[in-house]
Amino acid sequence: MAGRSRLPPPSFTRGAADLDGPPPRPHLRHPPPPPHVMLEERMAVQFDDVQALLSDNQRLAATHVALKQEVQMAQYELGRASILFDASRSDADLRLREVYEKMMKLESELGAADAMRADLMHVHNDIQRLTSDRQDLLGQVQALTQDLTRASTDARQVPAIKAEIETLKKEIQQVREGIEQEKKGYAENYEQGQVMEKNLISMAREIEKLRSEIANAEKRARAAAAAGTQAAGLVANYGNPDPNFMANPYVAVYGMNPVAGVADPSVQYGLGAYDMQGYQGRR
């Protein structure tokens, strides 16, 4: 303001041609204006300066108001941005927490998957072991089946043995009847009785031999039947670890009837068919 109230130096009031050209001639100079004119000019200049300052002040005031509004708007936007930032940060924290929880869940699932993989390997090993045991048991079943087949073959011979035993019983009964008849008819002949006694002793030996053979045959048949029953039980109960499993469905259809003993011990020795013929020839 103080600078604006002062007049510019004379050099600034002249034009550019006055600065470059020669100095004015004395005979062309105008006389200086009177003091009141100079004062009016100075006041006019100062008035212009005041008007310019007022205009600048108004412009600055408007600019200040606009800047103040812009600052308020910026502060408002900054507050909103801060709120949005806090919300976005909380949202980001929430998402980060969710991602972390998902990651922990995936880690736990991976751990469970590893445990399941270990269990699966254990089950696979058990399956292989059980398959090997199954092959072994199948081999044992085949061997038992072969034994059962042989036992069945032996058991088929039991009826023939029983028929032979019945035939021997009939022959022995016939011999007994013949001996009884011979005893009644030739009891008075002592010498012939001695010969008959010898024949009876030899016949008794033959009968004892036959009885021992029959007993051995019965033992073999019973052993074969027991082996067949046991093998059938093993085949039926294969794969059941419980000792109280179902009973053997295979029932033995064969058996051995024991040889009936001699009712009368006094007539258990007798002559055979060939001895009777020889004795009749000697008679």
158/204 Cα distance (integer angstroms): 25
At residue 276, the pLDDT reads: 46
- 28-72 pLDDT, tens digit per residue, is 456 666 777 788 888 888 899 999 999 999 999 999 999 999 999
Q: What is the pLDDT of residue 260?
A: 40
What was the pLDDT predicted at 154? 79
Q: Record the pTM.
A: 0.26
User: Distance between CA atoms of 202 and 209, rounded to whole angstroms?
Assistant: 11
- Cα angle vertex 93, ends 89, 94, to 5°? 115
- pLDDT at residue 191 tops 70: yes
Angle of helix 273-282 versus helix 158-185 axis, rounded to 10:
20
Q: Which of 263, 88, 255, 283 is nearest to 192 (CA)?
A: 283
Q: Could you read off the pLDDT of 10-39 as tens digits, one per residue?
A: 444 444 444 444 555 544 456 666 777 788
Indicate the pLDDT class of residue 233, thresholds 50, 70 and 90: low
pLDDT attached to residue 13: 42
Q: Quick one: what percent of the chain has pLDDT higher than 70? A: 67
252: helix, strand or coil? coil
